[in-house]
Chains A and B, each alone.
Chain A
Amino acid sequence: MFTDPLGDCSPGDKRIYASILVLVASADGELVREEFCAIEALMGRILIHPEARIDIRNLMNDPPDLEELLITIDSSLIKFVLRDAALVAAVDGDYDAAELKLIKRLATAAGVKDNTLKEIFDWVNSGLAWHHQSLDILGL
Protein backbone atom coordinates (compact mmCIF):
# COMPACT_ATOMS: atom_id res chain seq x y z
CA MET A 1 0.00 0.00 0.00
CA PHE A 2 2.61 2.46 1.07
CA THR A 3 6.14 3.12 0.02
CA ASP A 4 8.91 1.10 1.59
CA PRO A 5 12.65 0.36 1.35
CA LEU A 6 12.14 -1.97 -1.60
CA GLY A 7 12.01 1.12 -3.78
CA ASP A 8 15.74 1.58 -3.21
CA CYS A 9 16.67 -1.88 -4.50
CA SER A 10 18.57 -2.45 -7.73
CA PRO A 11 16.51 -3.07 -10.88
CA GLY A 12 17.67 -6.69 -10.79
CA ASP A 13 16.46 -7.24 -7.24
CA LYS A 14 13.14 -5.56 -8.04
CA ARG A 15 12.72 -7.96 -10.92
CA ILE A 16 13.41 -10.99 -8.74
CA TYR A 17 11.00 -9.68 -6.08
CA ALA A 18 8.23 -9.19 -8.65
CA SER A 19 8.96 -12.52 -10.34
CA ILE A 20 8.44 -14.40 -7.08
CA LEU A 21 5.16 -12.59 -6.52
CA VAL A 22 4.03 -13.57 -10.01
CA LEU A 23 4.88 -17.14 -9.14
CA VAL A 24 2.79 -16.98 -5.97
CA ALA A 25 -0.14 -15.31 -7.74
CA SER A 26 -0.20 -17.91 -10.50
CA ALA A 27 0.47 -20.87 -8.19
CA ASP A 28 -3.13 -22.04 -8.11
CA GLY A 29 -3.24 -22.23 -11.90
CA GLU A 30 -5.39 -19.19 -12.47
CA LEU A 31 -4.61 -15.54 -12.15
CA VAL A 32 -7.71 -13.63 -11.06
CA ARG A 33 -8.16 -9.93 -11.68
CA GLU A 34 -7.53 -9.08 -8.01
CA GLU A 35 -4.16 -10.84 -8.12
CA PHE A 36 -3.29 -9.08 -11.34
CA CYS A 37 -4.15 -5.73 -9.66
CA ALA A 38 -1.97 -6.59 -6.67
CA ILE A 39 1.03 -7.46 -8.86
CA GLU A 40 0.59 -4.28 -10.90
CA ALA A 41 0.25 -2.19 -7.73
CA LEU A 42 3.34 -3.73 -6.16
CA MET A 43 5.37 -3.15 -9.32
CA GLY A 44 4.18 0.45 -9.33
CA ARG A 45 4.92 0.95 -5.66
CA ILE A 46 8.59 0.10 -6.05
CA LEU A 47 8.77 2.08 -9.29
CA ILE A 48 9.79 -0.72 -11.59
CA HIS A 49 10.50 0.77 -15.00
CA PRO A 50 7.46 0.49 -17.30
CA GLU A 51 9.42 -1.52 -19.89
CA ALA A 52 10.69 -3.95 -17.26
CA ARG A 53 7.08 -4.51 -16.20
CA ILE A 54 6.33 -5.93 -19.65
CA ASP A 55 8.86 -8.74 -19.10
CA ILE A 56 7.47 -9.41 -15.65
CA ARG A 57 3.88 -9.59 -16.97
CA ASN A 58 5.05 -12.15 -19.50
CA LEU A 59 6.18 -14.37 -16.63
CA MET A 60 2.52 -14.89 -15.78
CA ASN A 61 2.29 -17.16 -18.82
CA ASP A 62 5.69 -18.73 -18.27
CA PRO A 63 6.33 -18.73 -14.51
CA PRO A 64 9.97 -18.80 -13.38
CA ASP A 65 11.57 -21.43 -11.14
CA LEU A 66 11.44 -20.45 -7.47
CA GLU A 67 14.65 -22.24 -6.49
CA GLU A 68 16.62 -20.41 -9.16
CA LEU A 69 15.21 -17.09 -7.95
CA LEU A 70 16.04 -17.91 -4.35
CA ILE A 71 19.67 -18.56 -5.28
CA THR A 72 20.01 -15.10 -6.82
CA ILE A 73 17.94 -13.02 -4.42
CA ASP A 74 19.62 -10.68 -1.95
CA SER A 75 19.09 -12.35 1.45
CA SER A 76 17.86 -9.09 3.00
CA LEU A 77 14.99 -9.05 0.51
CA ILE A 78 13.49 -12.42 1.31
CA LYS A 79 11.49 -11.19 4.28
CA PHE A 80 9.89 -8.47 2.15
CA VAL A 81 9.08 -11.03 -0.51
CA LEU A 82 7.53 -13.26 2.13
CA ARG A 83 5.41 -10.40 3.48
CA ASP A 84 4.14 -9.39 0.04
CA ALA A 85 3.64 -12.98 -1.07
CA ALA A 86 1.27 -13.39 1.87
CA LEU A 87 -0.55 -10.24 0.72
CA VAL A 88 -0.80 -11.28 -2.92
CA ALA A 89 -2.03 -14.75 -2.03
CA ALA A 90 -4.76 -13.30 0.20
CA VAL A 91 -6.30 -10.87 -2.26
CA ASP A 92 -8.58 -13.41 -3.93
CA GLY A 93 -10.17 -14.31 -0.61
CA ASP A 94 -8.26 -17.34 0.62
CA TYR A 95 -4.93 -19.12 0.65
CA ASP A 96 -4.82 -21.91 -1.90
CA ALA A 97 -2.75 -25.02 -1.04
CA ALA A 98 -0.27 -24.33 -3.85
CA GLU A 99 0.12 -20.72 -2.68
CA LEU A 100 0.68 -21.87 0.89
CA LYS A 101 3.33 -24.32 -0.24
CA LEU A 102 5.27 -21.52 -1.95
CA ILE A 103 4.84 -19.20 1.02
CA LYS A 104 6.16 -21.88 3.36
CA ARG A 105 9.15 -22.38 1.08
CA LEU A 106 9.81 -18.63 1.24
CA ALA A 107 9.44 -18.73 5.02
CA THR A 108 12.04 -21.49 5.20
CA ALA A 109 14.39 -19.51 2.99
CA ALA A 110 13.90 -16.49 5.25
CA GLY A 111 14.41 -18.57 8.39
CA VAL A 112 10.87 -17.84 9.56
CA LYS A 113 9.16 -20.32 11.85
CA ASP A 114 5.48 -21.31 11.74
CA ASN A 115 4.42 -19.10 14.65
CA THR A 116 5.99 -16.03 13.00
CA LEU A 117 4.41 -16.94 9.70
CA LYS A 118 1.08 -16.96 11.48
CA GLU A 119 1.83 -13.44 12.71
CA ILE A 120 2.44 -12.38 9.11
CA PHE A 121 -0.92 -13.88 8.07
CA ASP A 122 -2.58 -12.08 10.98
CA TRP A 123 -0.92 -8.84 9.86
CA VAL A 124 -2.32 -9.36 6.35
CA ASN A 125 -5.80 -9.94 7.75
CA SER A 126 -5.65 -6.77 9.80
CA GLY A 127 -4.62 -4.88 6.65
CA LEU A 128 -7.55 -6.29 4.72
CA ALA A 129 -9.91 -5.20 7.50
CA TRP A 130 -8.34 -1.76 7.64
CA HIS A 131 -8.66 -1.27 3.90
CA HIS A 132 -12.28 -2.37 3.88
CA GLN A 133 -13.15 0.33 6.43
CA SER A 134 -12.51 2.96 3.77
CA LEU A 135 -15.50 1.74 1.78
CA ASP A 136 -17.73 2.30 4.83
CA ILE A 137 -16.39 5.83 5.23
CA LEU A 138 -17.06 6.50 1.55
CA GLY A 139 -20.52 4.95 1.67
CA LEU A 140 -19.61 2.40 -1.02
Chain B
Amino acid sequence: MLPDIIHKLPRDERFAYARLLAYMTRVDNELSVSEMAMFEQRLGNALLSPKQREMLRLSLKNPPTLESCLEGMGEEAGRLALRDSVLMAAADGIVDEDEREILEEIAAHFGLVDDAVERLLKWTIEGYNWMDSGYELLNGLSE
Protein backbone atom coordinates (compact mmCIF):
# COMPACT_ATOMS: atom_id res chain seq x y z
CA MET B 1 0.00 0.00 0.00
CA LEU B 2 3.03 2.25 0.24
CA PRO B 3 4.73 3.12 -3.04
CA ASP B 4 7.23 0.46 -4.01
CA ILE B 5 9.30 -0.58 -7.01
CA ILE B 6 8.21 -4.21 -7.29
CA HIS B 7 5.56 -3.38 -9.91
CA LYS B 8 8.28 -2.03 -12.19
CA LEU B 9 9.93 -5.43 -12.55
CA PRO B 10 9.13 -7.78 -15.47
CA ARG B 11 6.16 -10.05 -14.82
CA ASP B 12 8.24 -13.23 -14.52
CA GLU B 13 10.43 -11.56 -11.90
CA ARG B 14 7.35 -10.47 -9.96
CA PHE B 15 6.07 -14.01 -10.09
CA ALA B 16 9.43 -15.34 -8.84
CA TYR B 17 9.33 -12.76 -6.04
CA ALA B 18 5.86 -13.93 -4.97
CA ARG B 19 6.86 -17.58 -5.22
CA LEU B 20 9.59 -16.97 -2.68
CA LEU B 21 7.03 -15.33 -0.41
CA ALA B 22 4.80 -18.39 -0.83
CA TYR B 23 7.71 -20.55 0.26
CA MET B 24 8.30 -18.28 3.23
CA THR B 25 4.72 -18.56 4.49
CA ARG B 26 5.23 -22.25 5.19
CA VAL B 27 8.67 -22.27 6.80
CA ASP B 28 7.20 -22.49 10.30
CA ASN B 29 4.51 -24.94 9.08
CA GLU B 30 1.76 -22.52 10.07
CA LEU B 31 -0.13 -20.03 7.99
CA SER B 32 -1.76 -17.45 10.23
CA VAL B 33 -4.38 -14.96 9.07
CA SER B 34 -1.80 -12.21 9.56
CA GLU B 35 0.66 -13.97 7.26
CA MET B 36 -2.04 -14.64 4.70
CA ALA B 37 -3.09 -10.99 4.77
CA MET B 38 0.51 -9.92 4.30
CA PHE B 39 0.97 -12.41 1.46
CA GLU B 40 -2.19 -11.22 -0.32
CA GLN B 41 -1.14 -7.62 0.18
CA ARG B 42 2.20 -8.26 -1.48
CA LEU B 43 0.57 -10.12 -4.39
CA GLY B 44 -1.64 -7.10 -4.90
CA ASN B 45 1.28 -4.71 -4.72
CA ALA B 46 3.16 -6.77 -7.30
CA LEU B 47 0.22 -6.44 -9.70
CA LEU B 48 0.17 -10.09 -10.58
CA SER B 49 -2.65 -11.33 -12.76
CA PRO B 50 -5.60 -13.07 -11.09
CA LYS B 51 -4.46 -16.34 -12.71
CA GLN B 52 -0.92 -15.99 -11.33
CA ARG B 53 -2.33 -15.21 -7.90
CA GLU B 54 -4.47 -18.32 -8.05
CA MET B 55 -1.40 -20.41 -8.88
CA LEU B 56 0.46 -18.88 -5.95
CA ARG B 57 -2.43 -19.50 -3.56
CA LEU B 58 -2.44 -23.12 -4.63
CA SER B 59 1.30 -23.30 -4.04
CA LEU B 60 0.70 -22.45 -0.37
CA LYS B 61 -0.64 -25.97 0.05
CA ASN B 62 2.36 -27.48 -1.69
CA PRO B 63 5.15 -24.92 -1.33
CA PRO B 64 8.13 -24.88 -3.69
CA THR B 65 11.65 -25.59 -2.43
CA LEU B 66 13.91 -22.69 -1.55
CA GLU B 67 16.40 -23.79 -4.20
CA SER B 68 13.79 -23.74 -6.94
CA CYS B 69 12.64 -20.28 -5.81
CA LEU B 70 16.13 -18.81 -5.88
CA GLU B 71 17.25 -20.44 -9.11
CA GLY B 72 17.45 -17.83 -11.84
CA MET B 73 15.83 -15.14 -9.74
CA GLY B 74 17.05 -11.61 -10.46
CA GLU B 75 18.90 -9.62 -7.83
CA GLU B 76 16.37 -6.82 -7.51
CA ALA B 77 13.40 -9.17 -7.17
CA GLY B 78 15.40 -11.28 -4.72
CA ARG B 79 16.31 -8.38 -2.49
CA LEU B 80 12.73 -7.12 -2.43
CA ALA B 81 11.55 -10.65 -1.70
CA LEU B 82 13.98 -10.83 1.22
CA ARG B 83 12.60 -7.58 2.64
CA ASP B 84 9.01 -8.75 2.28
CA SER B 85 9.89 -12.19 3.65
CA VAL B 86 11.08 -10.43 6.77
CA LEU B 87 7.79 -8.53 6.97
CA MET B 88 5.85 -11.74 6.50
CA ALA B 89 7.91 -13.73 8.99
CA ALA B 90 7.25 -11.02 11.55
CA ALA B 91 3.53 -10.77 10.75
CA ASP B 92 2.56 -13.30 13.44
CA GLY B 93 4.69 -11.49 16.02
CA ILE B 94 7.57 -13.97 16.18
CA VAL B 95 10.45 -14.69 13.82
CA ASP B 96 11.43 -18.20 14.83
CA GLU B 97 14.83 -19.83 14.33
CA ASP B 98 13.85 -21.65 11.15
CA GLU B 99 12.58 -18.46 9.59
CA ARG B 100 15.69 -16.55 10.65
CA GLU B 101 17.94 -19.22 9.15
CA ILE B 102 16.11 -19.04 5.82
CA LEU B 103 16.22 -15.26 5.79
CA GLU B 104 19.99 -15.36 6.32
CA GLU B 105 20.31 -17.90 3.51
CA ILE B 106 18.37 -15.68 1.12
CA ALA B 107 20.44 -12.62 2.12
CA ALA B 108 23.68 -14.54 1.51
CA HIS B 109 22.40 -15.81 -1.85
CA PHE B 110 21.87 -12.25 -3.03
CA GLY B 111 25.19 -11.01 -1.67
CA LEU B 112 23.82 -8.72 1.00
CA VAL B 113 25.97 -7.51 3.89
CA ASP B 114 26.16 -9.70 7.01
CA ASP B 115 23.83 -7.59 9.11
CA ALA B 116 21.20 -7.09 6.38
CA VAL B 117 18.59 -9.34 8.02
CA GLU B 118 19.18 -7.68 11.37
CA ARG B 119 18.70 -4.26 9.81
CA LEU B 120 15.56 -5.39 8.01
CA LEU B 121 14.14 -6.77 11.25
CA LYS B 122 14.83 -3.45 12.95
CA TRP B 123 13.21 -1.67 10.01
CA THR B 124 10.20 -3.97 10.31
CA ILE B 125 9.78 -3.14 14.00
CA GLU B 126 9.90 0.55 13.11
CA GLY B 127 7.15 -0.12 10.58
CA TYR B 128 4.97 -1.81 13.15
CA ASN B 129 5.52 1.15 15.44
CA TRP B 130 4.52 3.47 12.63
CA MET B 131 1.36 1.45 12.06
CA ASP B 132 0.61 1.53 15.79
CA SER B 133 0.98 5.29 15.85
CA GLY B 134 -1.65 5.38 13.11
CA TYR B 135 -4.01 3.36 15.33
CA GLU B 136 -3.37 5.70 18.22
CA LEU B 137 -4.24 8.60 15.99
CA LEU B 138 -7.47 6.91 14.88
CA ASN B 139 -8.38 5.83 18.41
CA GLY B 140 -8.00 9.44 19.50
CA LEU B 141 -10.69 10.36 16.98
CA SER B 142 -13.25 8.26 18.84
CA GLU B 143 -12.76 9.90 22.23
Contacts and interface: CB of A to CB of B under 8 A. Distances in A.
The SS class assigned to the B binding surface is: helix
B134 A44 contact: no
Contacts, number: 140
B29 interface: no
A130 B134 CA distance: 13
A75 B6 CA distance: 35
A48 to B, nearest CB: 9
Contacts of B137: 83, 116, 119-120, 123
B120 A137 contact: yes
A43 B134 CA distance: 19
Given A1-B127, A83-B134, A138-B79, A45 B40 contact: yes
How many A residues are at the interface, by size bracket? 35 or more
A79 B79 CA distance: 34
B135 A4 contact: yes
A50 B37 contact: no
Interface stretch (A9-17, A34-42, A66-74, A97-105): A34-42
Interface residues of B, number: 48
A87 interface: yes
The SS class assigned to the A binding surface is: helix
A79 B139 CA distance: 9
Given A123-B134, A130-B126, A137-B116, A47 B79 contact: no
Contacts of A128: 2-3
B133 A137 contact: no
Given A123-B134, A126-B130, A139-B112, A131 B4 contact: yes
Given A44-B39, A88-B1, 6 more contacts: A37-B46, A41-B1, A91-B3, A133-B123, A135-B5, A139-B79
